[in-house]
Each structure stands twice: as C-alpha cells, then as structure tokens.
Amino acid sequence: MSEEVIERLKTMGFPHPFKHIAVPNGNHFQPQNNFHPEVIKFLNEKFLPYCDAHHQNVAVDTKKAI
C-alpha cells in the first residue's frame, strides 16, 4: 500500500518532499530505534533548511532514539 501512496503523491504533483522509509518486516509495533535515524536525516535534509531562523538553531541528535 505504501508504494501506492508514493505513486499517488507523484501523480498528483505533491509539492513537498516525501520518501517511503521501508522497515524490513515492519508493522505498527516496530521499535522506533530501527529507523529513527533515517527519518531524522530526511527531515534535516528536506525540511530543516526551510524552517525559520528560530528553528534552525535547534540541535538535533540523529543518534538518539526516542
């Protein structure tokens, strides 16, 4: 289903960055620390540059699991 969502975003010209981060054998109970660094990396690369100056000064630890 996630592939269908990504394809629809592309087809409809969704204007914001998006990425499907696959979790091997994942489900709704997958521990966050298995994929959290990749999510933070994506957000830092695609969204952080567009935040206002206040938010750009917030340090993000990509190795820390929530």
pLDDT over 60 (residue 53): no
**Is 20 a domain residue?**
yes
**Is 66 a domain residue?**
no
**Is 17 a domain residue?**
yes
pLDDT of residue 32: 65
- What angle (nearest 5°) sits at the alpha carbon of residue 40, between those of residues 12 and 54? 95
pLDDT of residue 46: 86
> Which amino acid does the sequence have at 66?
I
d(CA 57, CA 55): 5
Query: Both tokens of residue 38?
Result: 């990749």
**Is 62 a domain residue?**
no
Q: How many structural domains does the chain have?
A: 1
pTM: 0.57
User: Which residues, 6+ apart, have CB-to-CB distance to 38 below 8 Å?
Assistant: 21
**Is 49 a domain residue?**
yes
Domain around 41: 2-56
| Residue pLDDT, tens place only, 1-50 | 788 999 999 999 999 899 988 777 767 676 666 677 888 898 888 888 77
**Is 64 a domain residue?**
no
